[in-house]
Chain A
Amino acid sequence: MSPRIANLLRYGLPVVIGIILYFCAGVLELSTVNDLTGLFLLMTLAMAWNLVGGFGGQFSLGHSIFVGVGSYATAVILTTLGWPLLPAMLAAAVMSAFIGVLLAYPLLRLRGPYLAVGSLGIALAAYGWMINWNFTKASQAYAMPPSGQVSLPEVFQYSTVLLVVTVIAIVALVRSPLGLRLVALRDNELGAASVGVKRVRTLLPIWGLSGLLTGAMGAVYAVQVGSLSVDASFAIQWSLDAAIICVIGGLGTLSGPFVGAIIIYYLRKYAADFSNWALLIEAVVLVVVVRFFPAGIVGLVTSTYKKFTGNRAVSKK
């Protein structure tokens, strides 16, 4: 395949699928539309986390902040400034990106488990602050104003556009010099530093982008649920979901978050009456995957496929 066709497929395919889905919004059944919206949001969240946690090798447990900021900023801007919905959502995403960079400054001093615990600490501190802050109505529900109340198909369109943008941004980033520096830093920090890769300069934009995408996801989530609560928006569960999905699917791969999100979303959907059992199964699967298939399901499939095609040298990497 010539590189031009490969590129066309890489960027064109998501756009085409996205356009088809966008115009399907009115045709599909409402329950399907709602399901897909949830799935797409979960995929976006996982892909955005994968940028930091997978490609960057920084196991963040603080991404709930971005979902919280994205959702609450949308609601607050709509209510107090009276902006139209789309600019409000974009502003919320930008604000979340800004916070991503702001958080990255202290967090980038930490490595490995410290980063995980440090980000978890910030997330819990943010939760403790928001639940007491009158500006966001503290522990009361924050209803979206009329300008933020949209129909299900419209929410679905937002989530579709966001997912396509996310996929394209990440596909482009991974192949860019910045993406290569990111992976180099993760795989061998000393080696990367010795050829002039700056750690902070590489990771700050990554955190910013991850914050932007996760914040946008939070904004769409706000429109989807219609009424916000600090308990739901700033829930640590967002970070857990993202991490579990990526580890099960395959950390630091492009398709891992997709596969993981589909598995987790449908596991939860069909075990809705036993939500705790679903979470239990997820956690057990997570442990089993890390213990026995460290490359995740995508890694497992790829290496099995390569074994069958007899291409062993490649599968060993």
Chain B
Amino acid sequence: MEFVNNLVTGLLLGGLYAVAALGLSIVFGTMKLVNLAHGQLLILGAYLTTMLITIAAGGDPLLMGIPAAIILAVLVYPLQRYIITPVMAQGEEPPMTVTFGISVVITTLLIIFFTSSPMPIWPVDYATAQIELGGVRIRVIYLIATVLAIVFILALMWILKRTAFGRQVRAASIDAEAAGLVGIDVKKTYARVMALSAFIAGYAGVLIALSGAVAPSSGTSWLLRAFTVVVIGGLASLPGTLYGGFIVGLVETFGAVWIGPQYRDVLVFGLLVVILLVRPNGLFAKAVKA
């Protein structure tokens, strides 16, 4: 029974990881950019929600998270449009360095305004509540996260397939130059994708903060978790992100049981390195070149 319990917990935790990784996945899929500030966007989403709740003197985090995520998307749009996209012409590394700089800016701003101690948790019941289904205990917030992961993935797949914006994104990701030739504003498309990614990340941050403590410095470890999920699930594959999340969630849950909870980070980041080692070809097309 304990095994089944861990299995379910791991899978649902994986749902949370999948939401956290979705934004990273679509940005990579569209513009081949690893956004090193992704973890900080997650954390910033949680802090923005706290700010909104404070300003409105109350409100449910799951509801206030929506305007917070929209604000985050609006803030990130010009960053991509006027800072990251222009340096993409210089090669692969400069845009990554810029996102790295942005990640340090966000972390430091959060520390300056909110101190480096963890964010006060929101006093809502469902953050700690558990339900029991056929002898299996489930944390409600993980269940919400997993459902949202599936909803977000289905919504993204619909947007990419059925809308004009989605067609522009797919065209730009396959061949940016050709997309430009047929009249697609690739720079705007990139900025919109980044904003969409920030929206999802901001809302994922709310779920993260509901399921555990977050501090300004938590961003880096969430970036690596999200990256592990994306790498396992196959880059730029939306359902893959969900499977990747499940695998990381399971590894972490069973690792904590079998080896010790303090080694969770070592296990997940070790897994990342091992996967990069074993399947390098699936990770970067350039490998064929050398």
Interface residues of A (CB under 8 A from B): 57, 59, 106, 109-114, 116-118, 120-122, 124-125, 127-129, 132, 189-190, 193, 199, 236, 240, 243-244, 247, 276-277, 279-280, 282-284, 286-287, 290-291, 294
Measured between beta carbons, the chain B residues less than 8 angstroms from A283 are 101-102, 104-105, 108
The answer to whether B93 and A286 touch across the interface, beta carbons within 8 angstroms, is no
Can you sample 21 A-B contacts with CB below 8 Å? A109-B276, A111-B284, A112-B34, A112-B93, A113-B92, A113-B93, A114-B34, A114-B284, A117-B223, A118-B272, A121-B224, A121-B269, A125-B273, A193-B290, A243-B100, A247-B97, A279-B104, A283-B102, A284-B105, A286-B104, A290-B97
What's the Cα separation between A116 and B223 when bound, in Å? 12
Residues on the B chain within 8 Å of A125, using CB: 265-266, 269-270, 273
Chain B residue numbers with a CB within 8 Å of A122 are 269, 273
B265 touches A128 (CB 8 A): yes
Query: How near does chain A come to B275, taking the closest CB pair, in angstroms?
Result: 10
Contact A280 B272 (CB under 8 A): no
B280 touching A109, Cβ below 8 Å: yes
Interfacial chain A residues near B270, Cβ < 8 Å: 125
Assess the A121–B273 pair: CB atoms within 8 A.
yes
Residues 81 to 113 of chain B near chain A (Cβ within 8 Å):
83, 86-87, 90, 92-94, 96-98, 100-102, 104-105, 108-109, 111-112
A32 to B184, CA, bound (A): 59
Which residues in B have their C-beta under 8 angstroms from that of A111? 92, 284, 286-287
| Contacting residues, chain B, for A280 (C-beta < 8 A) | 104-105, 108-109, 112
Q: Does B289 contact A (CB under 8 A)?
A: yes
Contact A110 B284 (CB under 8 A): yes
**Min CB gap A201→B, angstroms:** 12
The distance in angstroms between the C-alpha atoms of A112 and B88, with both chains bound, is: 13
Decide if B163 is an interface residue (CB 8 Å cutoff). Answer: no
Residues of A within 8 A of B243 (CB): none
Q: How far is the CB of A68 from chain B (nearest CB, A)?
A: 14
Contact A118 B87 (CB under 8 A): no
- Are B102's CB and A124's CB within 8 A? no
Tell me which residues across on chain B come within 8 A of A121, comparing CB atoms: 224, 227-228, 269, 272-273, 276
Q: Binding site of B, secondary structure by majority: helix, strand, loop or mixed?
A: helix
Task: Compute how far the CA of A117 lies from the CA of B264 in the bound complex, rounded to whole angstroms.
Answer: 18
Query: How many angstroms from the CA of A280 to the CA of B220 in the assembled complex?
Result: 17
Q: How far is the CB of A58 from chain B (nearest CB, A)?
A: 9
Q: Is B150 an interface residue (CB 8 A)?
A: no
- In the complex, what residues of A have CB within 8 A of residue B109's CB? 280
Would A290 and B98 count as touching, CB distance under 8 A? yes
Interface residues of B (CB under 8 A from A): 33-34, 36, 83, 86-87, 90, 92-94, 96-98, 100-102, 104-105, 108-109, 111-112, 220-221, 223-224, 227-228, 260, 262-266, 269-270, 272-273, 276-277, 280, 283-284, 286-287, 289-290
15 additional contacts (CB under 8 A) given A117-B224, A286-B100? A106-B276, A106-B277, A109-B276, A109-B277, A110-B284, A111-B92, A114-B283, A117-B223, A121-B272, A124-B269, A128-B262, A280-B108, A283-B101, A283-B105, A284-B101
In contact, B111 and A190 (Cβ under 8 angstroms):
no
A294 close to B87 (CB less than 8 A) = yes
Partner of A59, one of B97, B262, B276, B287: B97
Q: Which B residues lie within 8 Å of A276 (CB)?
A: 108, 111-112
Interface SS of chain A: helix
In the bound complex, residues from chain B placing their C-beta under 8 Å from that of A244 are 101, 104
Residue in B closest to A112 when the chains form the complex, CB atoms: B92
Report B-chain residues with C-beta under 8 Å of the C-beta of A236. 220
Chain B residues with Cβ below 8 Å from A284 are: 101, 105
Closest A residue to B224 by CB, please name it. A121
* A57/B93 in contact, CB under 8 A: yes
B227 touches A117 (CB 8 A): yes
Kindly report which residue of chain B lies nearest to residue A124, judged by CB atoms.
B269
Most buried by B among A110, A113, A189: A113
| Residue among B83, B86, B264 with max Cβ neighbours from chain A (10 Å) | B83
CB atoms of B289 and A189 under 8 A apart? yes
Bound-complex Cα distance A110 to B272 (A):
12
Partner of B224, one of A110, A112, A120, A294: A120
**Contact with B86, one of A106, A113, A128, A291 (Cβ below 8 angstroms):** A291
User: Which residues of A are found within 8 Å of B228, using beta-carbon distances?
Assistant: 121
A287–B220 alpha-carbon span in the complex (Å): 18
Q: In the complex, what distance in Å separates the CA atom of A112 from the CA atom of B280? A: 13
**Measured between alpha carbons, how far is A57 from B93 in the docked complex, in Å?**
9
CB-CB under 8 A from B287, the residues of chain A are: 109, 111
Report the Cα distance A66→B192, complex, angstroms.
40
